[in-house]
Structure 1
Amino acid sequence: MGPGPITADPRVLRAMSAQLVGQYDPWMTGTMNEVMGLYREVFITENQQTMLVDGTSRAGIEAALVSLLAPGDRVLVPIFGRFGHLLAEICRRAGADVHTIETEWGQVFTEDAIEAALSDVQPKVLAVVHGDTSTTVAQPLEGLGELCERHGALLYVDATATLGGNEFRTDEWRIDVATAGLQKCLGGPSGSAPVTFSERAVAVIEARKSVEEGIRDEGDPVAAEPIRSNYLDMGQIFDYWSERRLNHHTEATTMLFGARECARILLEEGLAESWSRHQLHGRAMLAGASALGLPPFGALAYKMTNVVGVEIPDGVNGDAVRGAMLEDFGIEIGTSFGPLHGRIWRIGTMGYNARTDAVLTTLAALEAVLRRAGHPCSPGAGVDAAYEVYGAAA
């Protein structure tokens, strides 16, 4: 019940137990095409280049950024938590000219603040984390795509922690590139990164690929340097997932089966229904934790639906409580990073764990452990507060 990875849906685990299939078997290539279609629905996009990157969500992030950014390209990264720092680091390693703006952890940026930075920096790419699990708040995205178009920038969004459980509309919000992972709201294991690229973003990557292949006409404009990574070269990955079936790598068959089942489960439920389910169980967990005397952390107006941040009470050993939760009840909750390490707990309600029984069991266990740690709690207060949320929603 931490910020991810979470308990995988049993249907996903069953799908991943299927036998392997050769990557050029017609059934295998048909499955790849099916997965592309499924994730267009998940991302709510018409983007042709919607697929999987074989690797954890960080592989998807790096594939997107190293393929978009050539050495010297300017990128703007608004940092409001640990994973904004990660985006900045990856961009620096790609040789980009990285500019950042920062706000207090637990807060988000206003649209005006981002527009001012865009005007000042004039970047090629604005790279934004949607929901930063280190702080449990989500940056509003509506309007950022229009700002980027106005300033000639591409909009990249890291949706690892939010896709499937928080509202996300790729085309409507004019997002050029989005990457995600299975291990949060999608209810699968880490190891596969769904990604989607707009035509504008594809054109940038294809121009760099043509330099690599030496096929640009003499009169063509000078293109950026070729992509520095081989495995994470989206130009080659596009070709691998196209009818050309470029022999770029051997598809991770088991992860393909898992990613397909994650999308099937989500779309069977319905995107809006899944967003509502995550919101309901997130509210119940927040109400229950608050009733146990755990103050919420961060700007609640921008709280992610699928993870709650609560402050660790004075006099309570946060790591000892987490250890007792795991050892005595088999329930994992998380702390955080950097300035929030040991200051807050992060309790997830996402994917297969966004369920009433999981929320109530976690709150009951947390109360028991807190009482043994000397923290005063009214017996049953957490569970009762969650029940009130569920009752009001019934």
Structure 2
Amino acid sequence: MSSRPHVLLLNWRDTAHPEGGGSERYLERMAEGLVGRGYRVTIQCAAYQGAAADEWRGGVRFRRRGNRFTVYPRALLAVAGLRPDVIVDVQNGIPFFSRLVARCPVLVLVHHVHREQWRSVLGDTLGRLGWWIESRLAPWLYRGCRYLTVSEVTRDELATLGIRPERVTVIRPGLDPPPRTSAEPDEDPTLVVVGRLVPHKRIEHAIDALARLSERWPKLRLEVVGQGWWRPNLLRHAELRGVEDRVTLHGWVDERDKHEILARSAVHLCPSVKEGWGIAIMEAAAHGVPSVAYRAAGGVCESIVDNKTGVLAEDFEAMVHHIDHLLRWPAYREALGRAGRDRAAGYGWERGVDLFERALTDARSRPRRPRGRAAGRRRS
């Protein structure tokens, strides 16, 4: 039996999953960092077509069991069977309820609160149920547990759910060094969106902005990097707006191609309803490409320094205005790009792994809280 501490990370997906994204990359970078420091790390996540049930990557063990729904009970079986030393329960709206069966400390990782997304994705009735689980049941179940998140904005949002700020550790994402690219900025300006094709990413707003700017910028294009089940809806939306010939949905591309697309773009758009941080914003910044996002979209207010590395918009009309302004004034766009590149250069993963490891160590060193009525009477 190994004496190395065993960390079990419960997550809906991994980065190779068709719906994997920045939150999965964040978790895996933390996992790889822990492996480098002598931990045994397992990521328990959902299976998908073509994926091995068990795989080792970067020193991390991946156990893929269940689909998008049954991944939750399969994770509870893993908690009971693997007997880890500490668990990180990634709450992507719905937690894994690991505290019900865990015999070790549990930490909760929340990238952002999903208040705005529940009804838009699941409708009114199921949306209310999902929000009740996230906002009422989960804070009660994980009372006393340490929370981890990626931005001060999310820490403030968690406080509205009764989770005191002193129980929440903010660990911002790092940034992988961008590969060397050969791309030069397109002669005709290009907008780019990097993200999953799902409703709450609101890529329709990017298509609408392209349509609104078509008269002033007749050669303006939009390139979308990412895949997801919402793709047919986006194709129809582009057709309805009459810009289908100027919208390219690339689907999944490898890292080098993604960075080539970013490097040749003029402006990166992030019209999402909510982001915990926005790794794609920092990736674009690494290439000197400023981003435009909505001020109300959570952690983007921290990944973008407004009017210094990018621009925050109050609404759709303001987003269109800011895009137009950035295209019309190259000197301003380039100044934002230089500041963004300088800022991105200071973001690595090591400090995040330091904080992550410290949180795990602190959780393991604290006495276990009793369960039952006595624990339930304590404040969260």
For Structure 1 versus Structure 2, the TM-score category normalised by the shorter chain is: 0.3 to 0.5
User: TM-score under structure 2 normalisation?
Assistant: 0.34
